[in-house]
Amino acid sequence: MALIAGIEFRKVNQPLNQPFITVLQKVQEREVTIVIVRDAEGREGYGECVAFDTPWYTEETVTGSRFVMEQVLAPLLLNERLEHPTGVERLFSKVKGNHMAKAAVEMAIWDLFAKRQGVPLHEFIGGVRKTIPAGVVVAGESDALAPNVKAEIGRGYRRIKLKISPETDAALLKSLVAANPEILFYADANGSFSGRALEELLAFDQAGFALIEQPYGEQEWEAHSAARSKMTTPICLDESIHSFDDVKRMAEQQAGDIIVLKMGRLGGWSETLKVVEFCRNEQIGMWVGGMIEFGVSKAHNLALASLPEVKLTGDFSDSGHFWQIDIVSPEIRVEHGEIKLSESPGIGYGLNI
């Protein structure tokens, strides 16, 4: 039984090393809220709220999520006695939506419980891997694409995600992929093919991508089904997946082969672990996605990727990819294309903020 004796919030705001450019938004600066929960013995658990400053990716925002965490979720949790972190979902069940806010607080509780047991979070959730393959996204200015890809390969990455849209030169990407046969390339469309003829997407089917992520809008299930039936490249859904029910719907409508696991969007560990079990049974591929995150969120994501069911390489870049200095110590390091999981209790990283 853990008594939740305290909860604290800290704002983090840092410029990105390079602007992150997609059809949705140009991101140059990132603000998140770090959540710290404390038990009666003074142990701490850490979570990170990954809502953006404005609602360009999901409906939540930094300001709105801070309000929900502080004024709505914290009072539900404070002075509660929890037997297991799965109990948080029930405490929060009367609060509608606000998945990123809920996930951040819930993550902190999972970290706290793993620390109370003295085990790494990856072990606490049943992970089996000791190292996680790294993956990076290249989303800078388009004329820097080829040199950026070359630079990331030089840093040891073996999986590279490229952003695509109907304006992207498919032939150029095809030659880039063909020139680097040892690299696994993903394409992420962020819904940009919405309203376009299927032929425009088919132009990318022979480019050699291991998957194409979210060609159409969040709710465009039929368009995804139609694309899936016509294409050889697997379709992967990211923005469409907000809940367990969305994953069931994808399976029923055959709208995708693979999903991106984003704990923030799913509402936390409990919902995510249910999704993982379902996908294992349905043979739906999974990988862990990033949203320009700091080390606390990355550490939770690394634990998630240690599960045997998560077989595809996720968005796991070095702390130095986005940040001058990350907020965790030690920083998260990619070596020879891999990240070694921390064997310290909980998320295995301390805070340096």
Q: Which residues are catalytic?
A: 163, 262
Q: Which is nearer to ligand OSB, 105 or 187 (CB)?
A: 187
Strand partners, 27: 20
The verdict on 305 binding ligand OSB (CB under 6 A) reads no
The verdict on 188 binding Mg ion (CB under 5 A) reads yes
Among 111, 188, 246, 318, interactor with ligand OSB by CB under 6 A: 188
Go through the chain and tell me how many residues it has.
353
Q: Which structure tokens are listed for 253?
A: 């409508």
Q: Which is nearer to Mg ion, 213 or 293 (CB)?
A: 213
Among 33, 148, 190, 313, interactor with ligand OSB by CB under 6 A: 190
Q: Which residues of 275-294 are buried (b: 16+ CB within 10 A; e: fewer)?
A: bbebbeeeebbbbbbbbbbb
- Alpha-carbon distance 350 to 25, whole Å? 31
In contact, 135 and 156? CB cutoff 8 Å: no
The verdict on 271 binding Mg ion (CB under 5 A) reads no
The verdict on 317 binding ligand OSB (CB under 6 A) reads yes
Stretch that binds Mg ion, among 61-69, 86-94, 184-192, 240-248 (CB under 5 A): 184-192
Among 152, 238, 318, 326, interactor with ligand OSB by CB under 6 A: 238
The verdict on 2 binding ligand OSB (CB under 6 A) reads no
Q: Which is nearer to ligand OSB, 188 or 326 (CB)?
A: 188
Q: How many angstroms from the chain centroid is the CA of residue 61?
A: 17
Stretch that binds Mg ion, among 1-9, 171-179, 186-194, 331-339 (CB under 5 A): 186-194
- Alpha-carbon distance 330 to 350, whole Å? 7
> 176-181, long-range: CB within 8 Å, 24+ apart, which pairs?
176/145, 176/146, 176/149, 177/207, 177/208, 177/209, 178/208, 180/149, 180/153
Q: For the chain, first and last CA: distance in Å?
A: 29
The verdict on 292 binding ligand OSB (CB under 6 A) reads yes
Least distance (Å) between residue 137 CB and ligand OSB: 4
Task: Specify the amino acid at residue 90.
Answer: R
Crossing angle for the helix pair 269-282 and 99-117, to the nearest 10 degrees: 90
Among 48, 152, 246, 315, interactor with ligand OSB by CB under 6 A: 315
Q: Which is nearer to ligand OSB, 207 or 291 (CB)?
A: 291
Q: Which is nearer to Mg ion, 237 or 302 (CB)?
A: 237
Least distance (Å) between residue 24 CB and ligand OSB: 7
Residues at the interface with ligand OSB (CB under 6 A): 57, 137, 188, 190, 238, 289-293, 315, 317
